[in-house]
């Protein structure tokens, strides 16, 4: 795991609970500046819970989270968060451009008026995702893939240091997946720190610098080749993990209705 660059995120002995019951426990890891991290684990492992804690939507039961060495919340608009699509009410009557402009609110003055720089940033973000022609469309009229790109455009307009994406590849078309991966490549060149939760272990192994493996607690963290070994995968996925001919196979069809996932050990 790279350690020479300054840390963007420092998670220390974190515990997060719902109604007094721990959902994530004993979580300690450090995300270096500019790293791209895949967050992987079975359904209910705590991936979404972690992201919500990283933007202050959930309180910590124990431990602390530091951003640039300062407590969470000390840096305005430093962290951008893209939730899962099902957590958004797409019936809200708002245009694509309006949604993306929300990423600029923290940079607007006390009157809340959008400047030319704000409008330029919105237009650039939309073009970057190939959806500039949708600016005046209602968000509810779009396909799932288009909606995902709109929310990524909003995050880019925010100009964050850290980007959190919760299952951005679930239920989207190939065009959207390719567009998201292209943006991730661009963000790597800009040294933006990125964390992406995904069920696709192959994608995590091939496209990300580091992998965080969760199962309601810390399982493993480091380069994909070190994390995706049979012992760690079994600890995370239990009896759903098998080793067949040098391939780690994770079967999530039962009880979850998902396709089996395979990665090479």
Is the pLDDT at 77 greater than 80, yes or no? no
- With beta carbons less than 8 A apart as the criterion, state whether 248 and 228 touch: yes
Higher-confidence position of 230 and 108: 230
**Full DSSP string of 82-137:** E--GGGS-TTS--BHHHHHHGGGGGGS-TT----HHHHHHHHHHHHHTT-GGGTTS
Mean pLDDT of the chain: 84
Domains and CATH numbers, the chain: 1-75+161-233 (3.40.50.300), 81-160 (no CATH)
pLDDT at position 92 is 77
Is the pLDDT at 79 greater than 60, yes or no? yes
Q: What is the pTM of this model?
A: 0.84
- pLDDT single digits (tens) 160-184: 999 999 999 988 889 889 999 999 9
pLDDT at position 245 is 47
What CA–CA distance (Å, rounded) separates 186 from 232?
Answer: 31
Mean of pLDDT values over 56-65: 92
- pLDDT single digits (tens) 129-158: 999 999 999 998 998 889 999 999 999 999
Please name the helix (run of DSSP H) or strand (run of DSSP E) that holds residue 70, with its range, or none: strand 70-71
């Amino acid at each position: 795991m790279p350690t020479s660059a300054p840390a963007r995120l420092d998670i220390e002995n974190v515990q997060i609970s719902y109604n007094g019951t721990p959902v994530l426990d004993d979580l300690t890891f450090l995300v270096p500046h500019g790293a791209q991290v895949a967050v992987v684990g079975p359904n209910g492992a705590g991936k979404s819970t972690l992201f919500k804690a990283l933007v202050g939507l959930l309180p910590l039961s124990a431990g602390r989270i530091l951003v640039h060495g300062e407590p969470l919340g000390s840096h305005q608009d430093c962290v951008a968060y893209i939730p899962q699509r099902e957590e958004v009410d797409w019936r809200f009557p708002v245009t694509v451009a309006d949604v993306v402009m929300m990423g600029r609110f923290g940079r607007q003055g006390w009157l809340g008026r959008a400047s030319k720089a704000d409008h330029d940033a919105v237009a650039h973000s939309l073009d970057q995702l190939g959806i500039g022609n949708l600016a005046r469309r209602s968000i509810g009229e779009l396909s799932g893939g288009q909606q995902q790109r709109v929310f990524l455009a909003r995050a880019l307009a925010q100009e964050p240091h850290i980007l959190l994406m919760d299952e951005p590849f679930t239920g989207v078309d190939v065009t959207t997946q390719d567009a998201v991966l292209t943006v991730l490549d661009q963000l790597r060149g800009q040294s933006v720190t990125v964390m992406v939760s995904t069920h696709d272990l192959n994608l995590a192994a091939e496209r990300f610098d580091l992998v965080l493996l969760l199962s309601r607690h810390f399982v493993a963290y480091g380069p994909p080749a070190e994390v995706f070994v049979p012992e760690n995968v079994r600890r995370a996925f239990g009896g759903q993990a098998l080793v067949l001919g040098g391939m780690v196979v994770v079967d999530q069809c039962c009880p979850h209705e998902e396709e089996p996932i395979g990665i090479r050990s």
